[in-house]
Amino acid sequence: MERKAKQMLLTSAFASALLFMPTHGKAAEWKLGMSHPQIKEVQTLLKAKGFFTYPTATGYFGTITETAVKKFQASVQLPVTGIVDDTTYTRLWQAPKPFDPIALVANAAPLLGKPYVWGGQTPEQGFDCSGLIVYLFQQQGITIPRTVATMWNAGTSVDVPAVGDVVFFQTEGTTVSHAGIYIGNNQFLHSASSTGVTISPFNSPYWSARYIGAKRYW
């Protein structure tokens, strides 16, 4: 009965979100060692998609930028060169399939009760907290970093989470250590070591005391 109730919570959580393609010009060929204001724009786009991990966009094309470009190129089936040519630049600006929170929570419903497994990121394996998030976003065609720490360094911070945003907690240590997906109605979906995949009250004394922020990746 409890699992059925949680599935009903998931299917009732929904919101609408659309991404639009901005107007942009063509890129020169940007590569390792170069500096230019347009490289800063490229880094900002890569950061929004979860590939650029440096805290700020600098306009300098260093090894971190090159690695981010390679990961992005691989994710969209482009030749992995680490060079931002016009094709790569155009793909960076292209709007992905609109994020669909209804589909995300629908995909999550069958996963309730799956076991917590360190390093797990498939229904067959089970999930750790970041593996669950990565898996569900992959179903939406969105690639995000694999670990909680790298997720925290990517995406866009939001003051108040909406359905589909990732919420972060400090459950141990001195920095972010746990994350889940906000599904509305003060509830979030996550994989906890003691429960496996479950839904918890976002505003409970335990979780609210450990909440440190939310990020958006769509």
Is residue 106 located within the same domain as residue 204? yes
Please give the positions annotated as active site.
Answer: 129, 178, 190
Using the predicted structure, report yes or no on whether residue 19 has a pLDDT greater than 50.
Answer: no
Give the domain-ending residue among 67, 93, 119.
Answer: 93
**Entry pTM:** 0.60
> Residue 16's pLDDT is what?
33
**What is the number of structural domains in the chain?**
2
Q: How far is CA 21 from CA 91, 130, 143, in A?
A: 10, 28, 18
DSSP 8-state code for residue 132: H
| pLDDT tens readout for residues 157-169 | 999 999 999 999 9
DSSP 8-state code for residue 141: T
* Among 91-105, 130-144, 160-174, the least confident range: 91-105
Is residue 80 located within the same domain as residue 105? no
55 lies in some domain: yes
Residue 65: CATH number of its domain? 1.10.101
Cα–Cα distance, 158 to 165 (Å, whole number)? 8
